[in-house]
Amino acid sequence: SDGGKLLVVPMVGSHWLSMQEVVEELSQRGHEVVVLVPEVSWQMETTQAYKVVTYPVRQTLEELDNAF
């Protein structure tokens, strides 16, 4: 974070819910933030506060639901 650039790779689920507020605050303070999220996920909404980059995954949302 000393360089002002952060790459965030959150895990699916409540981990991201706790972390999202911190990520948005860092972005508002001038850090360049990129959040890497899977194409299929829960509750990982996008915002203009940071850049979102998605990556492909093999499982569908239904398979993800059934796994949990």
Q: Is the dihedral of CA 49, 57, 55, 3 positive or negative?
A: positive
pTM: 0.73
Number of domains in the chain: 1
pLDDT of residue 33: 92
H helix or E strand, kind and range, residue 55: strand 51-55
- pLDDT, one tens digit per residue, over 19-67 is 888 888 999 999 999 998 888 776 666 678 889 888 888 877 787 777 7
So what's the pLDDT on residue 44?
A: 67
Query: Which is more confidently placed, 14 or 18?
Result: 18
Parallel/antiparallel/unpaired status of strands 5-8 and 51-55: unpaired
Nearest-angstrom CA–CA distance, 62 and 24: 29
Residues of the domain holding 18: 5-66
